[in-house]
Chains A and B, each alone.
Chain A
C-alpha cells in the first residue's frame, strides 16, 4: 500500500544533516551532562540494574475500531515481546481524548494485556470532563511513589489549572472541549499544585541523597513552550525539593516528540505518543541534536512508538525510543544517555 514514502523521496534534510552533524559528537555521556567529572556518578548508590518500559498519549476515542486503538495495542505487544521482559511499565497520561469513561476503560483493557505491572498518571485529556473521577475509579491515585531495586520512582499529576470554567458558566463538556485544544486560549498554565508539593516533600524526606530518583509527569518540568502547556508552572519547586539528590531522571508525555533537557541534577526526556506526533514549537531546542525527523503524514504510524529505559548499577539511564517507523536520527536510535 505504501508506495514511496515522503521521507525516502525527499531524502529528508534532517537525516542528511544528522549524519554530518553528529559525527564525533555522539549523545552526551552522563558525566558531561553533570559536569562533575564523574563525581555524581560515583556518589550515586549502587543499585540492582533494571529495565522499565514507558508508554503514553494514546488519545483513544469512544469510536469503535478507531485507528488509535491499534497503535496502543501494537505498543503493548511490542513491550510484551521484549526479552528480557521489562520489570514494569509507566504510562505518562492522555489515555483518552475527551475524558470519557468509555475511552479510559478501553485504554485500561488494552493496558491490562501488559505482562508486567503498570502505573499510570493522568493527562489533561483524561481529566477535565469529570475532574478525574472516572480516571481515579479505574487507575487509583493521581500521584504515587514506590521503590524498585533501590531506586525511588515517583508519578505526579501535573495538569491542574486554576478554575476557568465556573465564572464562565461552562458545562463539563465545554470545559473538556477547551482543554482538548493544545493551544487553549483561556485555560492557563498548569502544574501540580501545593498539595502535591507538600506530599512530595514528605515522600522524599527520609531518602538519602544517593538514592536514584525517577519522576514521571505528564508535562515537562521545564519551560519549553507555555503556549502549548509544554511546561509545569511549579516545576521549579519540584526541582528544588529533588535538588538534594545526586541524580534525578525525569520523563514526561504530552509533547508527542523526542525532546531532551537537563536542569541541575535532573535530566529530562520527552516521549513519543501512540496517537499523532507534534511538530516542534517555534522556539530553540536546548539540545537540538536530540530530536526526531519530520513525519510522513501518509504513514499513520510514523512519529509514534514506545520506550524502554535501562537503568545501570550506577544509575546511568539509557532512553531507548522504540519508534514504529524509521523516525529517529542515528544518535537517538542508539539510545539517549540519561
Chain B
C-alpha cells in the first residue's frame, strides 16, 4: 500500500453517480441544477479538501492549540481514538449528546489548556477533516461508545506492507 496521505480515493462509481444525478437534474429542468463539472474543477475541489486535511494534520501535531506543550497527536496518533464515526453521541465529559467539534474543543481546553476554536472556523473544519480522513472507509456508527485505532497505515518510507 502507498502512503495514503498523498492520494484521495475519488472512486469511479462515486463520480458516475454524481454525473448521472447532474444529468437527471437537468432533464427535470430543476432550477438548482448545475452543469457537470470539468475534471479540472473536480481536481481543484479535491486539492482544496486535501489542503484542509493537511492543515488539520499540522494543527493536530504542532501543539499550537494548547498551552502546555501537548498536541492532539501525543494522545491520538493518526487521529486514533477520536472516533469521528461515532458522533454525535452522549459523551460523559460533555455531559450531553454532543458533536465531534464540541469534543475537539473539550480536548483543546481540558487536557491541552488551550482556547476553544470557533465552530465554523477554518481551523476547526481542518481538524474535522483530519479526524475523518484518518477514519475514511470506517462505517459510521452514531451513538456508539467505541474506540477506533484509525485506518491502519502501512506505507511510507521504511514502513513495510503487512
Measured CB to CB, the closest approach of chain B to A273, in angstroms, equals 11
> Which A residue sits closest to B95, measured CB to CB?
A3
Q: Mark B54-96, 1 if CB is under 8 A from A, else 0.
A: 0000000100000011100111111011000000000111000
Specify which chain B residues have a CB less than 8 angstroms from the CB of A294 in the assembled complex: 147
**What are 29 residue pairs bridging A and B, where the CB atoms are less than 8 Å apart in the complex?**
A5-B92, A10-B92, A61-B68, A63-B68, A63-B69, A66-B68, A66-B69, A67-B68, A181-B61, A182-B73, A183-B78, A183-B153, A186-B156, A188-B157, A188-B159, A189-B160, A226-B159, A278-B75, A279-B81, A279-B147, A280-B149, A281-B80, A282-B148, A283-B149, A294-B147, A297-B93, A297-B107, A298-B92, A298-B93
* A227-B154, A276-B74 known; A10-B159 Cβ under 8 A: no
B145 within 8 A of A: yes
* A187-B158, A276-B75 known; A4-B69 Cβ under 8 A: no
> Which A residue sits closest to B162, measured CB to CB?
A283
The answer to whether A6 and B69 have CB atoms under 8 Å apart is: no
Specify which chain B residues have a CB less than 8 angstroms from the CB of A59 in the assembled complex: 74
B20 within 8 A of A: no
Which residues of chain A from 183 to 206 have a CB within 8 Å of any chain B CB? 183, 185-189
**Cα distance A298–B77 when bound, in Å?**
19
Specify which chain A residues have a CB less than 8 angstroms from the CB of B78 in the assembled complex: 183, 227-228
**Cα distance A300–B107 when bound, in Å?**
12
B142 within 8 A of A: no
**Cα distance A97–B69 when bound, in Å?**
9
> Which A residue sits closest to B73, measured CB to CB?
A181
**Cα distance A4–B95 when bound, in Å?**
10
Specify which chain B residues have a CB less than 8 angstroms from the CB of A279 in the assembled complex: 76, 80-81, 147, 149
Instruction: Tell me the B residues contacting A by CB distance below 8 Å.
Output: 3, 5, 61, 68-70, 73-78, 80-81, 91-93, 106-107, 110-111, 145, 147-154, 156-160
**Cα distance A5–B158 when bound, in Å?**
41
A312 within 8 A of B: no
Specify which chain B residues have a CB less than 8 angstroms from the CB of A317 in the assembled complex: none
The answer to whether B75 and A277 have CB atoms under 8 Å apart is: yes
> Which A residue sits closest to B69, measured CB to CB?
A61
**Cα distance A280–B147 when bound, in Å?**
9
- A-side interface size class: 35 or more
Measured CB to CB, the closest approach of chain B to A149, in angstroms, equals 38
The answer to whether A283 and B75 have CB atoms under 8 Å apart is: no
The answer to whether B157 and A10 have CB atoms under 8 Å apart is: no
* Other A-B pairs beyond A183-B78, A186-B156, A188-B159, 18, CB < 8 Å: A13-B145, A63-B68, A67-B68, A97-B69, A181-B61, A181-B73, A183-B73, A183-B77, A185-B3, A186-B157, A188-B157, A225-B152, A226-B160, A279-B149, A281-B152, A282-B148, A294-B147, A296-B92
Which residues of chain A from 169 to 189 have a CB within 8 Å of any chain B CB? 181-183, 185-189
Measured CB to CB, the closest approach of chain B to A62, in angstroms, equals 8
> Which A residue sits closest to B92, measured CB to CB?
A6
> Which A residue sits closest to B83, measured CB to CB?
A279
The answer to whether B68 and A10 have CB atoms under 8 Å apart is: no
> Which B residue sits closest to A4, measured CB to CB?
B92
Measured CB to CB, the closest approach of chain B to A269, in angstroms, equals 20
The answer to whether B68 and A185 have CB atoms under 8 Å apart is: no
A146 within 8 A of B: no
* A187-B158, A188-B158, A297-B107 known; A182-B77 Cβ under 8 A: yes
